[in-house]
Structure 1
Amino acid sequence: MGMQMVGLADIVRTHAIGQGAAVALVHDGRPTTYGHLHQASNRVAQGLIAEGIRPQSRVAHLDKSSDLFFDLLFGVSKVGAVMVSVNWRLAAPEVLHIVNDADAEILFVGEEFFPVIDEIRDQLRSVREIVALSGVHPGWEPFARWRDRHPNIDPQHPAKASDTAVQFYTSGTTGLPKGAELTNSNFASMFRYWSRSWQLEPGRRSIVCLPMFHIGGAGWGMAGLYAGATNYVVREFVPAQILDIIQSHRIEVALFVPAMILFLLQAPQVRETDLSSLQLIVYGAAPIPAELLKQAMAVFGCGFQQVYGLTETTGAITLLPTEDHDPSNAKKLLSCGYAQKEVELRIIGDDGRDLPPGEVGEIAVRSPQVMGGYWKLPDATARAVKGDWFLTGDAGYLDDEGYLYIYDRVKDMIVSGGENIYPAEVESALFGHPAVADVAVIGVPDERWGEAVKAVVVTKPGSVVTAAELIDWARSRIAGYKLPKSIDFIDALPRNPTGKILKRELRKAYWSDRTRQVN
């Protein structure tokens, strides 16, 4: 599509002219056309100007996903300000840290989160105005009234490619969340390439079910809007609801994380649901066990693409295409694909030098999708971005064909008797057992080997299996030194909002009496 996009607002400007009557968003049964989205965001922009919001001011959003997020996002873009969507699963002190850190001047908050903001209102240093996105609050104007009392006039603020458009807070593995500044040009290059790869095009029906504080939610929604697709925005991920939307609205493309695929396959409704409209499922954020992928390919009957990327790279930078999703080639399935257009990858050793194919090191990326930097953290930015290269903190290797194999965070690797063991491989081996519903593998202290492999398993309802049976099962699938030395059974694995297993939480119980988390 020949859209000349500098700022995000150019998306709605272009489509309002080209296909204004086409449906851009559907939320809770409520459709919004591209023309209406343009008008609503004009009013938001005028409202922000009236509140004293200037170019590059921060505007905060605290709510689950809805169509209103996009009214806001494009309004924010039209005045050259910066959108900051806050993780709604956070506790009040964590929300406080992010809103204050961002210097947010106005906050839009959904009814469910009034109590959180009421609790910290007096400590919000920079917030001058709060607007209620939904519900009724005695002190805050309701969003629809706030928006609609302003004129439908596009302020036509001239966007700059280098301006920050969205600030996502990354739940980094260490310390407080950092604000990754993603620029207009970061998004422009992501959309230009990925919307095609993901088969997004005018009228294509896409489901948006990751949260808006996450590049996977907001980024996927924006890519769909860039392409002129019809985007079904789901408030939060409820498997039965997702299946119902796929069937009743004939959804064609979706982005899920592997945990979501797992939960959809475990939903009792999945067998009765008509999934025939699906053409493509994109997934990422974690490796997928080969057995889970086989089940998913059989049940969903559509193409699958795996992507790898980070908040700091404006999402996806590698692609494992549909044709590489061959369950008989289990090795390829462990790969997250190869670098896409305008993306270069290096694998760097401890000494900072490039490693040859097959050797595991830190993944570094050069791409126009690499963030502008971390907000107000010059030292952290300097550590992460060396020249043009962003150091991901992820461990992986490239094979001879340039396919990237990412294992876990560098620190998730288990070193047992001098051998490096990657939990993802062990998890994949155990996952295929018919009694296993979910599994996580961690390293635990071991006097003899330094660390020993432990599996933590959730069994399927009504299934009974012993640790010995599971270890036997894995023995025929992976090398002996990778086998779990012990297996614990648990009701549910701790996961973060995007479904990543919280290995830190699992490890705590076993390392509590140790000073170091790695032996």
Structure 2
Amino acid sequence: MATLSVAVILAENARRRPDRTALVEGDLRLTFAEVWRRALAQAGALAELGVRPGDRVALMAPNTAEFPQAYYAIAAAGGVVVPVHLLLSPPEVEHVLTDSGATLLLCHPAQAETGTAVARAAGVRVVTLGAEFERLAAAAEPLPSYVTRDADDPAVVFYTSGTTGVPKGAVLSHFNLVMNATVNAFDANDVRPDDIALGALPLFHAFGQTVSLNSTWRAGATLVLLPRFDAARAIELMVREKVDTFHGVPTMYVALIAAAADADELPDLRVCVSGGASLPVAVLERFEEVFGTRIYEGYGLSETSPTATVNQPVFGTRPGTIGHPLWGVDVEIARAEAEDRVELLPPGELGEVVVRGHNVFSGYLGRPEATAEALVDGWFRTGDLGTKDAEGFLRIVDRKKDVIIRGGYNVYPREVEEVLMRHPGVAQAAVIGLPDDLHGEEVCAVVVPAPDAAVDAAGITEWSRRHLGRHKYPRRVEFTDALPLGPSMKVLKRELRARYAPR
């Protein structure tokens, strides 16, 4: 039986680089030795609170130092981390607590009101991070080391955003997470021990947790936390702390481009990674022009730890693609209609993206049917449609469920959005299909106008018509101040469909 724990990522740094700065938040600076010492003290407190190996502990906190500290304390105690999205409503938080079978909630003071009320309803004990947890840790006997776990034991349960109804808990093992952090750090992009990364992505989400926290620390590099993303503050902080690595979702890149115009100085960035949603090529090009650095776009899901593919220097990069599979991972295109088997397609054909490798989750907690639907013939079916070209570059075309069928023709919203993002008066765009008596579905663009832009629906439709096929351009254009975003910063298209559906 091979043993492994996510806790070794921090433990080994404390052994190899004890005096290296691990974590920066505001004026707080902690070395790897200090973070690990605190984690073992907190793990001792968790053991005294009755947390046993395999017990699930919910963690509800923003990007403050308390998050990574508690995360590694739970791992060191042998517990399973259940991160709670901070954008969830109280009933959704209650679902996460009850569905996961969490025995304890570690809650940041900023979330204490919601957390305490919901935990009480769910019959789960709450400990507040900060003063209360510190007091318990000071009174407890620290663990001498981390509790060993089987490599395939659960380490984290991520609740997926629930684009298809009730959120499900994706169970990831210690092996899944340690391998994903390792290949992200050493095989995908050139991460170095003297790097300084900005932790602006939510750590409760798989992207922030693996790529910003675990991969940065796997390389022995420094993580600078930004508790709430604000582009102007992010630029100031990156300049002040000499940050050279940025991980973000497309909305963050859009905001950074806008804020750069008013900044006195821009950071000297070496590695930028985008994920979480498709990055419009127009945004990628503009960011690279303004910041003078390349963006490596990648792709993944909670169920794949999360990274599955990314543009990597070893293969060359290609804008508009999600690059190549990670080291040790296979990503292929399968016939989308064949749901009970995986039938791989040749290069260039459109189908469903399927993944196999060390990053694929164990299954959905307590949902054998959903697991059997997702894991077929040794592959994980992502529900995303894409292509793979002859050189192995993968491209995501759209979610299987978001494809619009207008008059019998398939329209992929991503393609229409790419074109709209090149319109000078468009800051953001989301394209959805709405029921239509004549065509079955009609293409509707929901647009956030650029500041001070004079745009109208007829003008955008006409402009699109010149750049898109006759069945693709949006006949209907709606304007909004902001697009609804889910916990993972993806646009909630189901909300838009509900909002703009014909009455």
* TM-score of the superposed pair, with normalisation by structure 1: 0.91
Query: Would the alpha carbon gap of residues 7 and 249 (structure 1) be closer, same or farther in structure 2, given more than 3 Å must change?
Result: same
Deviations 1:151-190 (A, max 9, x none): 3442442222111111111112112111111111101221
Q: Which amino acid aligns with 1:499?
A: M
Pairing 1:339–2:335 present: no
**Equivalent position SS for 1:405:** strand
Pairing 1:131–2:141 present: no
Q: Which amino acid aligns with 2:412?
A: Y
Pairing 1:375–2:365 present: yes
Deviations 1:368-404 (A, max 9, x none): 1001111111221111112421111111122222221
The residue correspondences of 1:329-408 to structure 2 (distance < 5 A) are: 332-349=318-335, 350-351=337-338, 352=341, 353-408=343-398
Deviations 1:224-244 (A, max 9, x none): 111100001221212222111
Q: Give the whole-Å Cα distance in 2 for the aligned partners of 1:429 and 1:76.
A: 46
Q: Which amino acid aligns with 1:363?
A: V
Q: Give the whole-Å Cα distance in 2 for the aligned partners of 1:158 and 1:376.
A: 24
**Aligned partners of 2:75 and 2:146 also within 8 Å:** no
Q: Which residue of 2 aligns with 1:517?
A: none
Q: Which amino acid aligns with 2:263?
A: E
Tell me which of 106, 109, 128 is aligned to 1:108: 106
Q: Which residue of 1 aligns with 2:26?
A: 28
Q: Give the whole-Å Cα distance in 2 for the aligned partners of 1:169 and 1:151.
A: 32
Tell me which of 274, 295, 307 is aligned to 1:304: 295
**Aligned partners of 2:461 and 2:474 also within 8 Å:** yes
Moved over 4 A (4+): 322-326
Q: Which amino acid aligns with 1:147?
A: A
Deviation at 1:357, TM superposition (A): 2.5
Q: Which amino acid aligns with 1:263?
A: A
Q: Give the whole-Å Cα distance in 2 for the aligned partners of 1:99 and 1:6.
A: 26
Q: Which residue of 1 aligns with 2:66?
A: 68
In angstroms, what is the RMSD of aligned CA positions?
Answer: 2.0
Q: Which residue of 2 aligns with 1:258?
A: 250
Greater mean deviation of Cα atoms: 155-164 or 210-219: 155-164
Tell me which of 9, 17, 23 is aligned to 2:15: 17
**Aligned partners of 1:5 and 1:11 also within 8 Å:** no
**Equivalent position SS for 2:471:** helix
Deviation at 1:117, TM superposition (A): 2.8
**Equivalent position SS for 1:202:** coil
The residue correspondences of 1:198-217 to structure 2 (distance < 5 A) are: 198-217=189-208
**Equivalent position SS for 2:140:** coil
Q: Give the whole-Å Cα distance in 2 for the aligned partners of 1:460 and 1:370.
A: 40
Q: Which residue of 2 aligns with 1:289?
A: 280
Q: Quote the sequence identity (%).
A: 34
Q: Which amino acid aligns with 2:138?
A: D
Q: Give the whole-Å Cα distance in 1 for the aligned partners of 2:263 and 2:202.
A: 27
Tell me which of 133, 140, 147 is aligned to 2:137: 147
Query: Would the alpha carbon gap of residues 324 and 293 (structure 1) be closer, same or farther in structure 2, given more than 3 Å must change?
Result: farther
Q: Give the whole-Å Cα distance in 2 for the aligned partners of 1:57 and 1:273.
A: 49
**Aligned partners of 1:260 and 1:499 also within 8 Å:** no
Deviation at 1:56, TM superposition (A): 0.7
Q: Give the whole-Å Cα distance in 1 for the aligned partners of 2:231 and 2:487.
A: 14
Q: Which residue of 2 aligns with 1:138?
A: none
Which structure 1 segments of 5+ residues have no match?
A: 135-140, 327-331, 514-519
Q: Give the whole-Å Cα distance in 1 for the aligned partners of 2:54 and 2:313.
A: 40
Greater mean deviation of Cα atoms: 70-79 or 308-317: 70-79
Count of aligned pairs between the two proteins: 496
